[in-house]
C-alpha cells in the first residue's frame, strides 16, 4: 500500500510539473511570507497539543466527510484550541489537493502541515509555494540519502518537518538527520493495521527536546490520554474530528 501511494503521488507531481515547471514553483516558494515556527507551537506544555487534520477519505475507511470548505473547518479547529492543522493533499485515496492547503493557509494563523507522500524536492517547493509551514516525511518511504536531502531542503525553506516513524530503527534514522519533531504512526502503512501501543514501546527512544507526536488510532479522549501517559507531546487527529462535532471533540481531547 505504501509503495502504491508513493508511486501515485509522484505520478501526480510529475503531471503538475509538466504544467508548472520547477523554476516557477521554486520562485513562488521563495516569494511566500516566512513560514510560521511550527516547533514553537508544538513545544511540550501542561496540556497535550492537537494537530487537527482536514481529511476527506482514507484507503482503510474510504469516504469520511465531504468537507466542501476546508478553510472553514480549519478555522473551527483554531477556535477549538488546535495547535496546528494538517492538510492531506494526496488526491487519489485521500481526496485532497494543494488548493485545500492554500485555502487553509489563508484562513488561520496556526502552522499548516502538508501531509502527503513526499519523495521529490519538487513537492517540497510546492508545499512552501502553497503556504505550508511543515512537511511530512515518512521514513519508511525514503532511503536515507533522500530523507536527508528532503529534510535539508525543508529547513532551508524555513519550514519544519514532521518525520514519521514506525519502529525504533526508523526513529534512529529520523534522529540521525536532526529531526526536531518525530511522529510515531500506529498504522502500519503496508497492511494498514493499527497498534495503539506502538508509540509507548518506542517513545523512550526519542530524546527530550524533540517533540513527540502520536499519529493514528485516536478515536476518543481515552486514546489521547493513553498517548499522553506514554509521553506524547502532541497527537495528530483526523477521522475523529471530521466524522463528528469538531469543536466538541477537540474540547474532550484537550481536557485529558
Residues identified as active-site: 53, 55, 115, 164, 185, 215-216
The sign of the CA dihedral 186, 188, 192, 195 is negative
Give the C-alpha separation, 130 to 118, whole Å.
15
The distance in angstroms from the start CA to the end CA of the chain is: 34
How far apart are alpha carbons 129 and 242 in whole angstroms?
Answer: 26
- Phi, psi (5° rounding) for residue 187? -95, 125
**In terms of Cα–Cα distance, which of 84, 10, 23 is closest to 48?**
84
Going by C-beta distance under 8 Å and a sequence separation of 6 or more, which residues neighbour residue 158?
Answer: 34, 35, 128
Amino acid at each position: 500500500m505504501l509503495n502504491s501511494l508513493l508511486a501515485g503521488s509522484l505520478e501526480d507531481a510529475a503531471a503538475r510539473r509538466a504544467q508548472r515547471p520547477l523554476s516557477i514553483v521554486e520562485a513562488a516558494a521563495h516569494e511566500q511570507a516566512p513560514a510560521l515556527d511550527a516547533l514553537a507551537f508544538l513545544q511540550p506544555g501542561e496540556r497535550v497539543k492537537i494537530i487537527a487534520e482536514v481529511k476527506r477519505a482514507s484507503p482503510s475507511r474510504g469516504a469520511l466527510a465531504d468537507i466542501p470548505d476546508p478553510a472553514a473547518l480549519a478555522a473551527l479547529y483554531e477556535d477549538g484550541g488546535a495547535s496546528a492543522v494538517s492538510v492531506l493533499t494526496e488526491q487519489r485515496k485521500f481526496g485532497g489537493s494543494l488548493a485545500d492547503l492554500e485555502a487553509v493557509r489563508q484562513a488561520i494563523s496556526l502552522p499548516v502541515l502538508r501531509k502527503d507522500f513526499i519523495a521529490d524536492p519538487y513537492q517540497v517547493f510546492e508545499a512552501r509555494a502553497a503556504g505550508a509551514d511543515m512537511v511530512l516525511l515518512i521514513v519508511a518511504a525514503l532511503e536515507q540519502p533522500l530523507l536527508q536531502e528532503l529534510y535539508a531542503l525543508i529547513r532551508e525553506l524555513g519550514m519544519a518537518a514532521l518525520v514519521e516513524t514506525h519502529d525504533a530503527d526508523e526513529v534512529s534514522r529520523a534522529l540521525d538527520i536532526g529531526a526536531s519533531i518525530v511522529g510515531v504512526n500506529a498504522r502500519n502503512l503496508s497492511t494498514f493495521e493499527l497498534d495503539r501501543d506502538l508509540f509507548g514501546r518506542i517513545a523512550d527512544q526519542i530524546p527530550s527536546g524533540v517533540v513527540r507526536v502520536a499519529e493514528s488510532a485516536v478515536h476518543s479522549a481515552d486514546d489521547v490520554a493513553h498517548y499522553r501517559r506514554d509521553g506524547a507531546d502532541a497527537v495528530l487527529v483526523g477521522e475523529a474530528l471530521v466524522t463528528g462535532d469538531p469543536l466538541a471533540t477537540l474540547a474532550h481531547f484537550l481536557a485529558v
